[in-house]
Amino acid sequence: MSSISIEDTDGRREILRRMLTIREFDSTAGDLFADGEIPGFVHLYIGEEAVAVGACAALDEEDYITSTHRGHGHCIAKGLDPNRMMAELFGRRDGYCNGKGGSMHIADVEANMLGANGIVGAGPPLATGAALTSQFKGEDRIALAFLGDGAVAQGQVHEAINLAATWDLPAVFLVENNHFGEGTPADEQHNIENLSETAESYNIPGFTVDGMDVTAVNEAVAEARERARNGEGPTLIEADTYRYRGHFEGDPEPYRDEEDVKHWQERDPIDTFAERLIDRGDLTEAELEEMRSEIAAEIEAAVEYARDADLPDPSEAYDDMFGEPVPEIEEFASRLRADGAGGDSR
């Protein structure tokens, strides 16, 4: 069963809520980064919300996903808790990765979210592997890899899709074509216009959907998921979408003009979907406003949660390297700590 049904009113409202939550989370994260409260690199998902939410709504909770460096949207769409996500962005012990991962590596294995990923194109082989586990163990779950347009040029993505196709693995490869691979337009990185056309070389279905339309993504992923569960193998879906922000926060964006952004914003995935729900009577204007303010409060609370959460103890840097620890790390740690290095200056 899909986790959220677009066929009923409550489902559609939940889909809208999740898209709004992503937008609010990422807008807030962008502000906090600009203010210097969040360190490191932050890649925002604003503009692409329909892809993550449309896809994850079509998945069962047992289904796996792999994500990208632009992963906050996938996390929220998969049902992760904004408090613990924000805590991870703040480097807190209560974050999903105990502060070891940060924005680019949020993962929640219990939610079958196998991690955001700092390496472009690294998720698809992992999804192929998760799908292999499902097939090997005779499970009913599938694995969906989110990947960007840039990743389509990566060799390991080809290898992952070829393997999944050859073995009829229950996988879905969802290309989020946001039209820029880092700072270079997609059409300067690929010699095909529709990235879904690569599917033909694997003898699997490939098609392009409007990634600004959550219903289009949802239906496509639902069909692909059914196909995967029926043992018919993987599907490649390209969602045509757009990121409103830079590749990373602080990106000067010399590569595009504001007109393009405006053009895409006219088809904003949240506004258009909200409008449709209001037109249909699924939601009133007042209820939409109420939803927006609830979400704003929720994200504000997440920020407070993160600010108040404990930082990890420096000694935790030595944890989690192995299931069966090695003496080397214990020894090096004890030497450093005996010297007072890595002490409690923070």
Site for another protein in 165-224 (CB under 8 A): 166-167, 187, 192-194, 196-197, 200, 205-210, 213, 215-216, 218-220, 223-224
Q: Are 37 and 18 in contact (CB under 8 A)?
A: no
Q: Using the minimum distance from each CB to another protein, give the nearer residue, 73 or 125.
A: 125
Shortest distance in whole angstroms from residue 35 CB to another protein: 25
As a whole number of angstroms, the distance between CA 173 and CA 227 comes to: 13
Q: Are 106 and 117 in contact (CB under 8 A)?
A: no
Per-residue DSSP letters for 210-236? ETT-HHHHHHHHHHHHHHHHTT---EE
Shortest distance in whole angstroms from residue 68 CB to another protein: 13
The single residue among 40, 136, 230, 275 that binds another protein, judged by CB under 8 A, is 136
The single residue among 34, 311, 326, 341 that binds another protein, judged by CB under 8 A, is 326
Q: Quick one: how far is CA 234 from the chain centroid? A: 19
| Binding of residue 311 to another protein (CB under 8 A) | no
Q: Using the minimum distance from each CB to another protein, give the nearer residue, 21 or 177.
A: 177
The single residue among 45, 96, 180, 305 that binds another protein, judged by CB under 8 A, is 96
Best CA proximity match to 75, nearest among 116, 32, 28, 41: 116
Shortest distance in whole angstroms from residue 82 CB to another protein: 18
The single residue among 259, 262, 285, 322 that binds another protein, judged by CB under 8 A, is 322
Burial (CB count within 10 angstroms: exposed 0-12, middle 13-18, buried 19+), residue 75: buried
Shortest distance in whole angstroms from residue 31 CB to another protein: 25
| Binding of residue 257 to another protein (CB under 8 A) | no
Shortest distance in whole angstroms from residue 251 CB to another protein: 22
The single residue among 10, 39, 133, 275 that binds another protein, judged by CB under 8 A, is 133
What residues from 277 to 306 belong to the interface with another protein (CB under 8 A)? 279-281
Which part of the chain contacts another protein (CB under 8 A), choosing from 15-23, 38-46, 115-123, 297-305? Answer: 115-123
What residues from 258 to 277 belong to the interface with another protein (CB under 8 A)? 263, 276
Q: Using the minimum distance from each CB to another protein, give the nearer residue, 28 or 112.
A: 112
What residues from 23 to 82 belong to the interface with another protein (CB under 8 A)? 64, 66
Joined together, the tokens standing for residue 106 give 């949020």
Q: Using the minimum distance from each CB to another protein, give the nearer residue, 22 or 130.
A: 130
The single residue among 114, 142, 151, 295 that binds another protein, judged by CB under 8 A, is 114
Q: Which strand ranges, in their side-by-side order, compose the sheet holding 143-148?
A: 64-66, 143-148, 171-177, 235-240, 206-210
Q: Are 314 and 308 in contact (CB under 8 A)?
A: no
Q: Using the minimum distance from each CB to another protein, give the nearer residue, 22 or 171.
A: 171
Joined together, the tokens standing for residue 64 give 């796996």
Tokens 């007072």 -> residue: 340
As a whole number of angstroms, the distance between CA 126 and CA 67 comes to: 10
As a whole number of angstroms, the distance between CA 180 and CA 40 comes to: 21
Q: Using the minimum distance from each CB to another protein, give the nearer residue, 77 or 224.
A: 224
Indicate the DSSP class of residue 112. T
Joined together, the tokens standing for residue 92 give 């807190």
As a whole number of angstroms, the distance between CA 83 and CA 304 comes to: 9
Joined together, the tokens standing for residue 105 give 């590596």
What residues from 224 to 253 belong to the interface with another protein (CB under 8 A)? 224, 227, 235, 240
As a whole number of angstroms, the distance between CA 4 and CA 1 comes to: 8
Shortest distance in whole angstroms from residue 21 CB to another protein: 22
